[in-house]
Structure 1
Amino acid sequence: MAAEKTDQTVADAIVARVRAWGVDRIFGYSGDGINGVMEALRASDDAPAFIQARHEESAAFMAVAHAKYTGQVGVMAATQGPGAVHLLNGLYDAKLDSVPVVAIVGQQMRSVLGSEYQQEVDLLRLFGDVAAQYATMVVDPAQIPSAIDQAFRTALATRTPTVVIVPHDVQNAPAVEPGGEHGEIKTAAEYRAPRVLPADSDIAEAAEILAQAQRPVMLVGQGARAHADEVVAFAEHIGAAVVTSLLGKPYVDETLPYAAGTMGHLGTTASARVMAECDTLLIVGSSDPWTEFYPAPGQARAVQIDIDGRAVGRRYPVEVGLVGDAAETIRLLRERIERMAVGDWRNRVRKLVVEWHEISEARAMTPADPVNPERAIRSLNAHLPDDALLALDVGSVVYWYARQLRRSVPAHFSSTLASMGCGVPYGIAAKLAHPDRPVVVLAGDGGTQMAGLAELVTVSSRWKAWSDPRFVVLVIDNGDLAEVSWEQRETEGAPRFDTSQDLPAFPYAQYGELLGFRGELVDDPEQLDGAWQRAFAADRPTVIHVKSDRDIPMLPPLPQGESAVEQIQQTVEKEGSPHALELLRRYVELEAGSGAGA
């Protein structure tokens, strides 16, 4: 049967096909190049909801966050030229954090392509890297079912972003239903994840390595999220300390006596110590990039479990790589390993964890001018609702989250790309997916000024429709791009560069009130608990503006960070700030006093 024209336009067919994949919302911004799709969304009775952001980059972040919070494909839409360019940051966020998203992007009419027409950008070349697994431009209406289906299948199968580019004139052309003849492709909106298991012989080899461990550590990443309880129970079975990647942190209960917290430069003292002392490492669903915080090469035997074979051995020289589902692979290992008696190591881990809890509390309670940001985050532990969703911006706030928040709730942000400005867009996506649950955004003044202020306007237009109106934004305001300031000291041995690091003052709480929210200004640490209590009791969104201290040190944990800490000390001494030097010495003293003795 030959292809047949229908009463629909190509744009109508795109909307219907996206809906067939179960998509309930599309994040984006309109423009002439995508207006055919916008009209199809308007005219359709069962089209996905269109979520208009204030900027295409924010829309892209929302689509990525939707995928992270729901496990579904996130979908974004934008016009050609600048609209398409603005999507790149979110698409790279998806690529680097292994998240399935699909971008539907407009393009100028086919007749003008190649003529340097207005807003004409070579989009296939633009998206060639970020959507390396699948990017296509539709040049014939008959392509649409196949192109959309392939974009969704590829995004799901590879956990990467994909892109479908549709010129404006193609969007408005009559839709064509392929008949399946030569040169025509008739496809299905269908994908089911496979069951992936390692070979029995590989399980046996890995089990033998783990059974010989005397000081085992498990590094748990986001790949364990679906069955984190089973993964953590296996750690207890083999007597392992549990360390998490930043993306794995939400899935491990940090009140457990063997949970050593997050690893890496922004990680905990306990995680650094157990990594430095372990003799066997089991990596589960993680590709954490902080390689200097892994055991030294040759120090530990290593086994890695990952659903993606490309990740195995990427960060550490493992002996056995098990490509498979984390939970099922863990079950197979457990069947082969008796409960392990590593009492000395268990006691050592408990001691290090207790010491870390003492250090983190002492850090948070260190007096600052005016509020210690670590205390601001630590105080949230007592007030965070069990059903809350957390979104983070990028910057120093991620350090304080990693080290001070011990409550296990879903939390997402731009991790591997580490792009500022993601916090409020991520929070909006979380709230749209779960309007009956409270959402908390943790952000710094840098990320808030970059994109958060604009997207609070989006919140103001939507919050009254949410069954739970609580949307709490904590802005830690120290007037500084603090993470970069401390990086300059550490990696460049250079003092803080005021011109590049100073941020303009802004009344965040008053801005929230202007938008119809509640606003709280906190300039005394004793005000923190009350601010959180009122925010979670409120009948509307709340902006909590915390006046913070930019001199709170951002130190890597010891022993791996020893040379970096020495570099920071030398630089701060040269800067000649008595306040910064006093705080630094206090923090170094706390860090250096941990982990003594085995």
Structure 2
Amino acid sequence: MSTTVSDFVIDRIKAWGVSRVFGYPGDGIGAFDGALGKADGSERELEYVRPTHEEIAALMATAHAKFTGEVGVCVATSSPGAFHLLNGLYDAQMDNQPVVAIVGQQGLASIGSFTQQESNLERVFADVACYVETVATPDAVGVVVDTAFRTAMLRKQPAVVVLPHDVQAMAYEAPAAEHWVSRSSDVAPSTRIVPPQDQIARFAEILNAGERVTFLVGAGARGATDLVLEAAEKTGAGIITALRGKDVVPSDVPYHTQQVGLLGSRPSLTQIKECDTIVLLGSNYPYGEYLPASGQARGVQVDIKPEQMGLRYPTELNLWGDVGATLQAVMPLLRDKQDTAWQEKLAGEMREWEAEMHRQAEVAYDDGVNPRRVIRAVNERLPEGVTVTCDAGTTADWYGHHIRLRRGMHGDMSGRLATMLAAMPYAVAAKFAFPDAPAVCTIGDGAFQMLGMNELITVKKYMAQWPNQQLVIVVMHNDDLGQVSWEMRTEDGNPMWSGSQDVETMDYAGYARLLGFEGIAVHSDDEVDAAVERAFANPGVTLIDAYVSRNVPPLPPHITAEYAVNTAKSLLKGDPAELGVIKDSAKAMAAEAVERVKGALGRD
């Protein structure tokens, strides 16, 4: 029975289907934390996971929402703790995830008085949150909490509940039927929106008329895998997945050509250039230059976020609806196409692309291990049910090019925000979400140094709770903020600047061993397979410290003139890694050229 406002909030969080929160304590949220402690071990208990930083707590809440489909919840104290949540909440906002943050505040009488750790939190969170409100009285706590959860679920955005310290400890009674008092509902809303039937019929007409249909599938199609595949079979469509939608479509679907763009495949580029119909399913794919030319293809977008439709391509039909429910509605109107030439062409090109990726992973570099070889070795040994996370940076390129997720596997990252370091909290959140399954984290050394290293401490604290304790962390150790170095060269024609790009080296494998984990250093290509084999043979935590080349180019599927010219400009300006960049880029492009010749000649 709720006796204080904090007790009520705990009970209400549970009523909304939440069993786990990610938090960090402080005096501004102290009474609420005390109530959490008192509920510990009782039927009112909420599992409380405390990582090493509030930013990590918010990223873990976002990852929990992504992996489970539930509302993620994070908890922090007033000003400094609240501010630290922002990056993780922006990750939720930009990737359309329902997250509720419970944030402390100084007492009501202090608001606006410039006292210690008092700040205007409603203004702070106004941009990131779809709903932010301060609970000023016990009578208001129900409607504020319920509205936060309901709005987060419907709008797929973060919401913030601000709890002043004194209000947290106030006595709570269920509100009576009085003026200005809301007696709110804790019933979750339905989001299975289906467009009107006339729009469904138009959708079917467009699909039936297309001869070379392409589905661009994003994370918004999670839960609709079978419907996506059924629709593709009926319409003869090829499938591209956005990076965050990689796990929506199994990798063994032959006409699934993986991603498109800088970290995409050449068969996906073929789809974009040659399709006559493109259907975006639950994707706000941000790179318009990798979508068809205007007027080339008829365009349809299906999304639960209406404000994110029709932004990247001039679609002729925008359907506001849940992807699964919308596909289910259109399915009876689709004609079975007998001509599978489009799918067969894409499947053949995908086989050639996989051979090229294999060859790229075999290239030897003078200044370190080929990072592609490391990720390929990981991919070849992925166990069933695994969750794979990747970080922003070149690890995202290798993840897109080499990781192939089978049915039942999960994969994700910080998408539109693309914040560094998210791969570690995502992987740890996956261990909580799926404690019976393994997880793999791929991360660069720059991101690992940010806050990622800290989360090995969190793993040490909680791993005994996980029936399956296997967690493999792959650190790409090149002492460079590699993606930014390449962006400086290819986007701006500037040389890599050591003052901003160099990462101080350290013994990451030794750090893992210091915490009692397995640490494996990999210094040469011929050590890669044995190291990865050893990591997956270990039922516990393993860190692979891979000393990789910093000069391996994240080659796009088609090297544009701008890419090549800007890289040349950067080298002429005195790039400190000039010789290595020239040699290693030449090797990578030579491997690509060999595969193209083989493909043209029809040879293996």
TM bin, normalised by shorter chain, reads over 0.9
For 1:124-523, what aligned pairs fall within 5 Å after superposition? Answer: 124-131=122-129, 133-368=130-365, 369-408=367-406, 409-523=409-523
User: 2:236 and 2:248 mapped to 1: Cα distance?
Assistant: 19
User: 1:293 and 1:526 mapped to 2: Cα distance?
Assistant: 37
Report the Cα offset of residue 433 of structure 1: 1.7
Q: Deviations over 1:233-270 (max 9, x none)?
A: 32232222211111111122223321111112221222
C-alpha contact (below 8 Å) 2:102/2:160 kept by paired residues? yes
Q: Hey, what does 2:92 align to over in structure 1?
A: 94
Report the Cα offset of residue 210 of structure 1: 2.0
C-alpha contact (below 8 Å) 1:381/1:406 kept by paired residues? yes
Q: Deviations over 1:390-429 (max 9, x none)?
A: 2222211011000101133201221111111111111111
Q: Hey, what does 1:67 align to over in structure 2?
A: 65
User: 1:596 and 1:322 mapped to 2: Cα distance?
Assistant: 41
C-alpha contact (below 8 Å) 2:55/2:88 kept by paired residues? yes
User: 1:227 and 1:346 mapped to 2: Cα distance?
Assistant: 20
User: 1:439 and 1:305 mapped to 2: Cα distance?
Assistant: 31
Q: Hey, what does 1:39 align to over in structure 2?
A: 34
User: 2:206 and 2:230 mapped to 1: Cα distance?
Assistant: 19
Q: Which amino acid aligns with 1:571?
A: S
Report the Cα offset of residue 596 of structure 1: 7.0
User: 1:116 and 1:331 mapped to 2: Cα distance?
Assistant: 56
Q: Work out whether 1:563 is the aligned partner of 2:556.
A: no
SS at match of 1:474: strand
User: 1:535 and 1:490 mapped to 2: Cα distance?
Assistant: 35
Report the Cα offset of residue 591 of structure 1: 4.7
Report the Cα offset of residue 367 of structure 1: 0.7
Question: Which is further off, 191-200 or 43-52?
Answer: 191-200
Report the Cα offset of residue 577 of structure 1: 2.6
Q: Which amino acid aligns with 2:247?
A: P
User: 2:5 and 2:329 mapped to 1: Cα distance?
Assistant: 49
Q: Hey, what does 1:3 align to over in structure 2?
A: none
C-alpha contact (below 8 Å) 2:2/2:8 kept by paired residues? no
C-alpha contact (below 8 Å) 2:215/2:278 kept by paired residues? yes
Q: Which amino acid aligns with 2:22?
A: F
Report the Cα offset of residue 145 of structure 1: 1.2
Q: Which amino acid aligns with 2:161?
A: V
C-alpha contact (below 8 Å) 1:518/1:543 kept by paired residues? yes
C-alpha contact (below 8 Å) 2:493/2:568 kept by paired residues? no
Report the Cα offset of residue 572 of structure 1: 3.7
Question: Which is further off, 344-353 or 171-180?
Answer: 344-353
Q: Which amino acid aligns with 2:437?
A: R
Report the Cα offset of residue 517 of structure 1: 0.5
Q: Work out whether 1:115 is the aligned partner of 2:110.
A: no
Residue in structure 2 matching 1:16, options 3, 11, 15: 11
In structure 2, do the counterparts of structure 1 residues 354 and 143 end up closer, same or farther at CA, with 3 Å as the change threshold?
same
In structure 2, do the counterparts of structure 1 residues 194 and 67 end up closer, same or farther at CA, with 3 Å as the change threshold?
closer
User: 2:568 and 2:252 mapped to 1: Cα distance?
Assistant: 32
Q: Deviations over 1:464-499 (max 9, x none)?
A: 222111111111111100000000011110010011
In structure 2, do the counterparts of structure 1 residues 331 and 492 end up closer, same or farther at CA, with 3 Å as the change threshold?
same
C-alpha contact (below 8 Å) 1:138/1:144 kept by paired residues? yes
User: 2:101 and 2:111 mapped to 1: Cα distance?
Assistant: 20
SS at match of 1:180: coil
Q: Which amino acid aligns with 1:226?
A: G
Question: Which is further off, 80-89 or 214-223?
Answer: 214-223
C-alpha contact (below 8 Å) 2:479/2:503 kept by paired residues? yes
Q: Hey, what does 2:537 align to over in structure 1?
A: 537
User: 1:333 and 1:7 mapped to 2: Cα distance?
Assistant: 47
Report the Cα offset of residue 555 of structure 1: 2.7
Q: Which amino acid aligns with 2:305?
A: D
User: 2:172 and 2:325 mapped to 1: Cα distance?
Assistant: 44
SS at match of 2:388: strand
Identity of aligned residues (%): 40
TM-score by structure 1 length? 0.95
SS at match of 1:386: coil
TM-score by structure 2 length? 0.94
Report the Cα offset of residue 533 of structure 1: 2.2
User: 1:227 and 1:286 mapped to 2: Cα distance?
Assistant: 13
SS at match of 2:295: coil
User: 1:346 and 1:154 mapped to 2: Cα distance?
Assistant: 41
Question: Which is further off, 535-544 or 375-384?
Answer: 535-544
In structure 2, do the counterparts of structure 1 residues 565 and 201 end up closer, same or farther at CA, with 3 Å as the change threshold?
farther
C-alpha contact (below 8 Å) 1:221/1:247 kept by paired residues? yes
Report the Cα offset of residue 389 of structure 1: 1.4
C-alpha contact (below 8 Å) 1:269/1:591 kept by paired residues? no
SS at match of 1:259: coil
SS at match of 2:453: helix
Report the Cα offset of residue 139 of structure 1: 0.9
Q: Which amino acid aligns with 2:207?
A: L
User: 2:568 and 2:211 mapped to 1: Cα distance?
Assistant: 36
User: 1:546 and 1:469 mapped to 2: Cα distance?
Assistant: 22
User: 2:100 and 2:186 mapped to 1: Cα distance?
Assistant: 14
Report the Cα offset of residue 110 of structure 1: 1.3
Q: Which amino acid aligns with 1:503?
A: V
C-alpha contact (below 8 Å) 2:192/2:325 kept by paired residues? no
Q: Deviations over 1:120-158 (max 9, x none)?
A: 111000000101x21000111111111111111111111
In structure 2, do the counterparts of structure 1 residues 280 and 7 end up closer, same or farther at CA, with 3 Å as the change threshold?
closer
Question: Which is further off, 22-31 or 253-262?
Answer: 253-262
User: 1:7 and 1:102 mapped to 2: Cα distance?
Assistant: 20
Residue in structure 1 matching 2:20, options 25, 39, 53: 25
Report the Cα offset of residue 343 of structure 1: 4.5
User: 2:252 and 2:431 mapped to 1: Cα distance?
Assistant: 27
Q: Which amino acid aligns with 2:570?
A: T
For 1:68-83, what aligned pairs fall within 5 Å after superposition? Answer: 68-83=66-81
SS at match of 2:215: strand
SS at match of 2:173: strand
Q: Deviations over 1:75-126 (max 9, x none)?
A: 0111111100000001000000000000000011111211211111110000
Where do 5+ consecutive residues of structure 1 fail to align?
A: 1-5
